[in-house]
Every structure is written in C-alpha cells, then in structure tokens.
Amino acid sequence: MISNKRLVLAHFWLAFALFGVAVLLGEWQMFIRSPLSGWLRNADMYYRSVTAHGTVMGYVFPTLVAMGFGYFISEASLGQPLIGRRWAWTGYYMIIVGSIAAVVPVALGLDSVLYTFYPPMIGNVFYYLGVVLVVVGSWVWVALMGVNLYVWKRAHPGAPVPLAMFANVAGAYLWAWTAVGAALELLFQIIPVALGYATTINAGLSRVLFSWTLHAIVYFWLMPAYIAFYTIVPRAIGGRLYSDSMARISFALFLVFAMPIGIHHLFADPEVGSGFKVVHSIFTAMVAVPTLLTVFTICASVEIAARLRGGTGPFGWVKALPWKNPQMLALALSFVMLGFGGAGGLINMSYQLDSTIHNTQWVTGHFHLIFGGAIVIMYFAIAYDLWPHLTGRVIQDARLVRTQLWLWFIGMIVLTFPWHYAGLLGMPRRMAFYDYTAPGMFAEGVSVVMSVIGGALLVVSALIFIAVLVRNHWATRVEPETFTFSRAVHEPITLPWALNGLGLWVALMIALTITNYGYPIVQLMRMPEASVPPVFVGGKP
C-alpha cells in the first residue's frame, strides 16, 4: 500500500516536465550546428542551451526519478509508511528552489560553463549555489532511505532485506559519496572565486575533484534502471528472477567499482601522473563485472518466463517471449543500446586508444547512448509500470506505448551512431558551429544532419510519452492489484550479513576512493603553479 502517492507523483512529474524541455533544447542544439541552419548563428545562445540541457539531464532529471522511485520502493517493499514524509517534501522543495536559482542566471547568459563547470571558467554564483541546493535536497532522500531501512531491520531482526530496498539504498549511498567530489570542488574551489574571495583557481585540482563525481554519477543514473531489470521486468513478463543473490552481488560491486575510476576522463591532462591514469583505467574495466552479471541474470530470468509460456529449444524460447509487453520491449531495446554503448566505452577507458577519440563527437555519442538510450528508456518503463498504482487508472494505449519505445530506440540510434562516425573523423565536440565549406567537412555535415533527424524522432517520442501519462489521469478509474516486485526462483530465507546490509561495501567504496584519489588530490593541493586566473563568463561580478 502506497500512502504517499502525491509525493512520488510530484517527483516524477517535475522530472518528466524538465526532461521534455531539455529534449527540445537538445534538438535545437543539433539543428543550429547542422548545415541546415544558415541564420541562427548565435554561439552565446548555444552554450546557454547546452548548459541548461546538461544541468537538467545530468543533475535534476535522474535525481528526481531516483528519489520518486526510491520513496515508492521504500513503502512498497518494506510494507511500512514512509518515515520522514515532511523531510521528503522539504528535500523536494529545495530541489525546486535550487533549480530556479540555477536556471535564471543560465537563461541570462551568466553561466554558460556547461554542466561540468570547466574551471577556470567561472559563472554567476547563484548557478553554483542552485546546484548545491539540488544536491543537498537529494541528500535528504539519502538520509531517509537509510533511516527507513534501519527502522525496518530493527523491527525484523535477521529477516532478508527486500532486494528492491537493498538496491535502492545502495543507489542512495552511491549518490551521497559520488556527489562529495563535485561538492568539494564547488565549496572550496569555484564558489570562493565566484564570490570574489579568491583571485586564482587550481584548475587541475578542480578537474580531479569533479572526476570523482563525473563517472560514478553514471552508475547512480543506472541504479533505477537496474532495479527495474531485477525487480520489475521478470514479474511483468510472467517469470521469476533467476538469482536473488547474484542481484545483490551486482549492486554491491557497483558500490565498490563505480567510484575509483573517474580519472580515466583526464587521460589528456598533464597534472595527473600516468600511474594513476592506468590504475583508474583498470578499475573502469572492473565495472564490466556487475554489468555482465546483470546481463546473464536477466537473460536467464527472461528465459524462465519464456519457458513458463511454453517456449522450447535452445533458442526457440525467444519466440515465446511477450514481445508486445512494454516491459519486455523496453528491456530488449535497453540491452541493445547498453551493448553498443558499452562497446564504445571500451575505447574511452583504454589508456592508449582514448587518444584517438579524445574530445570528439565519439564521446558525446557514447554518453548519450548509455544515458539517453539504455537508462532513460527504462525510466519510461518504470513510469508505465508505476502509473496505474499511483493514479488508480489503467494505461490503455498499449500500442502507443510500444510505438513510443520504438521511436526512442530508433531516434537514439540515428542520433548517436553518426556521432561515433564523426568522432572517428576527428570532429570536436563542444563546438557551436562548424565551417562545412572547409575541405573534408562534407562527411561530418552529413552525419550532423542525420543526428538532427534522430533528435526529431526523440522529440516526438518524448511528447508521446508525456501525452500517455497525462491521458492516464483521465482514464477509467480502477482498483489496481497490490504492487509486487519480482519473486526469485529460490526466495531467500536467510542471507549472509554481507548480502543483507551495505556496511562492508560502503567501507570498501570509501577506502578505494581514498586510495585512488588521495595522492593525486594532495599532490595538486601542493602544486601552486596549477593555480590560474579565472575566466569570468558573462562579466566579472
């Protein structure tokens, strides 16, 4: 029984409304960068748009989805009313205030620093304070998830923690720790300069601190999608989860391996020694372990569902899968995009191969294929599964839902594959305009036009998604069945303490982070020549 439906809906609706605006901004950016645009040549507007698009997509949208989904999971899996409801609303309003504080200076052109801040560029202080407020609001959610689990465990000594809540709290703790890097950068590096209290900024140290957040945040975005893989899809397609233990190990390994890897984004930065770059490259490869465990476990779970439906043979069971079920379709499309995005990531994480695609459109293509593709399509699936339980009304447009999912998949492929190609040709990213009349630019121009078409398909898909959710609120009222999560083939009766709590994994996460970041940070703090004058965006305050 969900007693805080308004709280969950408020988070989801704010997330999806901002997502819709950000998708429109993304398509506009693609259009004005293409040869199709001959009149909208305003670089300032472009970078304002990129900053707003990245800030919403990187910080606000996935955080709100994780929070709303987390509150739902807490009540649905633990079977107890949410503890700290007023604090939850407080965190929600803090995110609203923070978002407004951040977006106003961006709209005024005072903060075109992109969502990674890029020191020594310095924008208006209210943008940074707004981002900090968004993060602090989300930390309220982190605390509440920990408190709710603690209270439940005290009331159920020795009982297995429900898998969905185990994974949900793992995602919350991962977010709390990965956000520390950006928080340190903002509080001790950027904001003092933006306020005029410092005249130089240690750009190398700032970039290392942000790398603490930069890649692990991707796994925070992934957590809701992985929770859906394990705890929603098997049930929704009429099957069972192959292994509860393997799922817990996957989420625990994400905590351990997601953090000490971010310096692989700084392969071209001279401030960091090559030794730590190699170490971070190796740990980045280790993140593939929980991903491969997930692919194996979910494929096995899907096969169980197919054989329960009469599927036979080594591969004949694939035909027995419920392909018209939106959850099945979303899972399959997500896995395809995860596979392509993961393959591209192998180039990014390689200490040697990264130099061939560094700072090119390849990186943009890889990033969007993982987040915009594999992750966001599962956010859609989560919303479609939860909405009837939140509104008491059934989503009736199953064909329209499948169309929306297919459009998102096709649009993302058409958008990102040309970016990979253009990146191999050497096309730089973060550029407002290109001179397509220059020799050798024809192929890049064609790829950008294809990306415009892909972006248009994504806009249509996003509009359909929002329309389906809105229409649901006026659909026929029904009494939905009690929400349940997927049941494992062998449901746990008892669990070893390491798989029934997160203490060990959080300790390993912190220890590995300190080991892999401690020396580079201390080294850069003792390197005064790394400090440079700031470059103020929108004029010095």
DSSP string computed for 295-342: HHHHHHHHHHHHHHTT--STTGGGGGS-TTSHHHHHHHHHHHHHHHHH
Q: Residue 240 sits in which domain range?
A: 4-536
Which residues of the chain have a pLDDT value below 70?
Answer: 38-41, 539-541
Is residue 541 included in any domain, yes or no? no
- Predicted local confidence at residue 346, as pLDDT: 87
Separation of alpha carbons 302 and 297, rounded Å = 9
Q: Select which of 265, 368, 389, 420 is catalytic.
A: 368
Q: Select which of 215, 235, 240, 420 is catalytic.
A: 215
473 is catalytic: no
Separation of alpha carbons 459 and 407, rounded Å = 9
Contact 131, 91 (CB under 8 A): no
Separation of alpha carbons 21 and 426, rounded Å = 30
Q: Select which of 248, 265, 280, 366 is catalytic.
A: 366
Separation of alpha carbons 501 and 252, rounded Å = 9
User: Which amino acid is it at 409?
Assistant: F
Q: Select which of 46, 59, 69, 219 is catalytic.
A: 219
Residue 467 CB partners (closer than 8 Å, separation 6+):
none
Helix (H) or strand (E) holding 49: helix 43-55
Backbone torsion region of residue 238, taken as left when φ is above 0, otherwise alpha when ψ lies between -120 and 50, otherwise beta = left
Q: In terms of DSSP bridges, do strands 201-202 and 531-532 run parallel, antiparallel, or are they unpaired?
A: antiparallel
Is residue 100 included in any domain, yes or no? yes
Separation of alpha carbons 512 and 286, rounded Å = 13
Residue written as tokens 């372990």? Answer: 289
Separation of alpha carbons 263 and 240, rounded Å = 39
Per residue in 14-53, pLDDT (tens digit) is 999 999 999 999 999 999 888 887 656 678 889 999 999 9
Would you say how long the chain is, in residues?
A: 541
Is residue 524 included in any domain, yes or no? yes
Residue 252 CB partners (closer than 8 Å, separation 6+):
170, 498, 499, 502, 504, 505
- Predicted local confidence at residue 476, as pLDDT: 86
What CATH number does the domain containing 414 carry? 1.20.210.10
429 is catalytic: yes
Domains in the chain, number:
1
215 is catalytic: yes
Contact 208, 524 (CB under 8 A): yes
Q: Select which of 46, 367, 371, 380 is catalytic.
A: 367
- Predicted local confidence at residue 292, as pLDDT: 94
Is residue 69 included in any domain, yes or no? yes
Is residue 367 included in any domain, yes or no? yes
User: Which amino acid is it at 415?
Assistant: L
Q: Which two tokens stand for residue 335?
A: 């896995």
- Predicted local confidence at residue 529, as pLDDT: 82
Is residue 438 included in any domain, yes or no? yes
Q: Select which of 309, 358, 402, 429 is catalytic.
A: 429
Q: Is 488 helix (H, G, I), strand (E, B) or coil?
A: strand
Is residue 468 included in any domain, yes or no? yes
264 is catalytic: no
What's this model's pTM, rounded to 2 decimal places?
0.96
Per residue in 414-436, pLDDT (tens digit) is 999 999 999 999 999 888 888 88
